[in-house]
């Protein structure tokens, strides 16, 4: 029997299994659901064993567990490690769900449940594909390791040390991530870039305590005004960042990369109206498109600001302090630590007289991630997607950060190929999350093809 026929014959069972998996409320951010995350890990381990995967184990990480498994009987072939996660986001606001988030419902070819596409539906695809290949061909085309985690939705805090401690076990030539999606039902995509992150807080201290603005106003520097000056000095009116050296390490986009980004349509009007703005509200660094600004250019955003009186009415105070939180999105080859130092130096140089300003680094630093479009994993995925969709994939980036990609690259030296089938309208992290049954089915065969293509 072909794996195609095997998948077809077992489709009803796979759907039942996914529904069963989705009933486990494995919310990683809520301590009262820690037992459910552990239960989901056990569910995954059992399912992997049934698929014929070997050496399956639930591993303690200091946080939520990791489930590992392997099939390593393809000598001379590459070793790929498949990544996914079995934890899910919280369900608030639960009153907006049309059916209970952990009681899966099928409607119009869509499976509604928390985690249906992010990531339980997607992470089940490679397990099912491997089962189909093993049960029909008796072997896999490449060596495969599985790495499923239970803390993705809380930023994988204990993974860095855990991966370093188990570097040999997880050694591989590339990672394939089941956590992601395609551009649309008709258009495939490959993720080739993620921005990094540097997070800081600026604290401005003026007088020892809040002063009467009548008694002292005009003769004492105002910390809020000083902070406004510091923040304003960091950015030109047109959006360019003025922190000295900020752009020095930015790798310019090649003509090919520019073309790849330009090939992806963007309805500028839709982009702005979706967020309650009009097209005239357009803003950003000159010389770059909106996509380039969010995907391939670094930013400096003030995330929050506070100081002095924030209540109703008036309080005639000259405040003692003012504070701001800043995050920079970084691109290759910027370094989060160096960017933090450049900002601290800029703040020092631009602090007006009469106040002290200090800059503290906050956690959450991430190195920018750029994957070659012609990486063997991408080339294989491209071929599979071309065959499935009849179209060249878009080479997309994300303006956000996925810590796992950087982690695997830095500790295992392995790039991550994004190979998953969620779509943007499927309400990940929101009420009424769903996964298209067509995607669930299509993705199983896609994984079989990808493994075959990698084994060639």
Three-class SS state of 315: coil
Exactly one of 139, 164, 259, 277 binds its own copies (CB under 8 A); that residue is 277
Q: Which is nearer to its own copies, 153 or 452 (CB)?
A: 153
Q: Which is nearer to its own copies, 285 or 335 (CB)?
A: 285
Those residues whose C-beta lies under 8 Å from the C-beta of residue 363, and which sit 6 or more positions away, are: 199
Q: Which is nearer to its own copies, 196 or 377 (CB)?
A: 196
Q: Which is nearer to its own copies, 42 or 270 (CB)?
A: 270
- Asked if 364 interacts with its own copies (CB under 8 A), we say yes
Rg of the chain over all Cα atoms, to the nearest angstrom:
25
The DSSP-derived string for 383-432 is HHHHHHHSSPPEEEEESS--HHHHHHHHHH---EEE---B-GGG-TTSTT
Q: How far is the CB of 277 from its own copies (least distance, A)?
A: 6
Q: How far is the CB of 204 from its own copies (least distance, A)?
A: 11
Exactly one of 133, 211, 414, 437 binds its own copies (CB under 8 A); that residue is 211
Q: Extract the tokens encoding 313.
A: 């009415």
Q: What are phi and psi of 241, to 5 degrees?
A: -85, 135
Give CA–CA dist 263/242, Å, rounded.
30
Q: How far is the CB of 455 from its own copies (least distance, A)?
A: 35
- Asked if 240 interacts with its own copies (CB under 8 A), we say no
- Give the rounded distance of the alpha carbon of 155 from its chain centre: 9
Q: How far is the CB of 368 from its own copies (least distance, A)?
A: 12
Q: Which is nearer to its own copies, 76 or 313 (CB)?
A: 313
Strand 79-85 relative to strand 174-177: parallel, antiparallel, unpaired? parallel
Residues counted in the chain: 456
Q: How far is the CB of 3 from its own copies (least distance, A)?
A: 37
Give CA–CA dist 326/205, Å, rounded.
17
- Per-residue x/- mask for its own copies, residues 281 to 320, rule CB under 8 A? xxxxx----x--xx--xxx-xxxxxxxxxx--xxxxxxx-
The residues that bridge with 110 in the sheet, in sequence order, are 107, 436
Distance of CA 188 to CAs 184, 257, 299, 437, Å? 7, 17, 28, 17
Q: How far is the CB of 276 from its own copies (least distance, A)?
A: 3
- Asked if 376 interacts with its own copies (CB under 8 A), we say no
Exactly one of 209, 255, 267, 390 binds its own copies (CB under 8 A); that residue is 209
The residues that bridge with 194 in the sheet, in sequence order, are 369, 398
Exactly one of 172, 322, 344, 405 binds its own copies (CB under 8 A); that residue is 322
Q: How far is the CB of 181 from its own copies (least distance, A)?
A: 14
- Please list every residue from 328 through 347 that binds its own copies, using CB under 8 A: 329
Residue 199 contacts residue 326 (beta carbons within 8 Å): yes
Give CA–CA dist 456/27, Å, rounded.
39
- Please list every residue from 217 through 236 that binds its own copies, using CB under 8 A: 217-222, 224-225, 227-229, 231-232, 235
């Amino acid at each position: 029997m072909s794996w195609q026929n095997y998948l077809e014959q077992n489709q009803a069972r796979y759907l039942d299994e996914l529904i069963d998996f989705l009933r486990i409320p494995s919310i990683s951010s809520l301590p009262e659901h820690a037992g459910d995350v552990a239960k989901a890990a056990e569910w995954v381990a059992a399912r992997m064993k049934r698929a014929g995967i070997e050496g399956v184990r639930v591993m303690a990480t200091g946080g939520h567990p990791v489930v590992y498994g392997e099939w390593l009987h393809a000598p001379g072939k590459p070793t790929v490690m498949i990544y996914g996660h079995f934890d899910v986001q919280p369900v608030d606001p639960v009153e907006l769900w049309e059916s209970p988030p952990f009681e899966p419902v099928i409607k119009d070819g869509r499976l509604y449940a928390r985690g249906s596409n992010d990531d339980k539906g997607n992470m089940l695809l490679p397990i099912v594909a491997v089962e189909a290949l093993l049960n029909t061909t008796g072997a896999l085309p490449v060596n495969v390791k599985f790495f499923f985690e239970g803390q993705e939705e809380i930023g994988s805090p204990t993974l860095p040390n855990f991966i370093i401690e188990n570097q040999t076990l997880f050694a591989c030539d590339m990672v394939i991530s089941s956590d992601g999606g395609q551009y649309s039902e008709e258009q495939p995509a490959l993720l080739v870039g993620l921005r990094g992150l540097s997070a800081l807080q600026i604290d401005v201290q003026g007088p020892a305590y809040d002063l009467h603005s009548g008694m002292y106003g005009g003769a004492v520097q105002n910390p809020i005004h000083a902070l406004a000056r510091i923040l304003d000095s960091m950015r030109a009116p047109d959006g360019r960042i003025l922190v000295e050296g900020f752009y020095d390490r930015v790798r310019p986009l090649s003509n090919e990369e520019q073309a790849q980004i330009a090939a992806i349509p963007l309805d500028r009007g839709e982009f702005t109206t979706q967020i309650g703005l009009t097209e005239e509200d357009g803003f950003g660094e000159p010389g770059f498109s909106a996509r380039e600004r969010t995907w391939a250019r670094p930013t400096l955003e003030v995330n929050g600001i506070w100081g002095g009186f924030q209540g109703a009415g008036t309080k005639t105070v000259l405040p003692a302090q003012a504070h701001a939180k800043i995050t920079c999105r970084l691109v290759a080859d910027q370094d989060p630590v160096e960017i933090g130092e450049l900002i601290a130096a800029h703040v020092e140089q631009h602090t007006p007289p009469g106040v002290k300003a200090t800059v503290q680094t906050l956690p959450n630093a991430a190195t920018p991630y750029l994957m070659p479009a012609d990486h063997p994993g991408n080339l294989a995925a491209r071929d599979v997607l071309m065959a499935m969709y009849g179209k060249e994939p878009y080479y997309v980036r994300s303006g956000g950060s996925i810590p796992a990609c950087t982690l695997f690259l830095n500790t295992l030296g392995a790039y991550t190929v994004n190979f998953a089938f969620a779509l943007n309208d499927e309400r990940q992290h929101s009420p009424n999350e769903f996964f298209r049954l067509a995607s669930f089915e299509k993705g199983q065969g896609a994984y079989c093809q990808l493994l075959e293509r990698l084994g060639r």
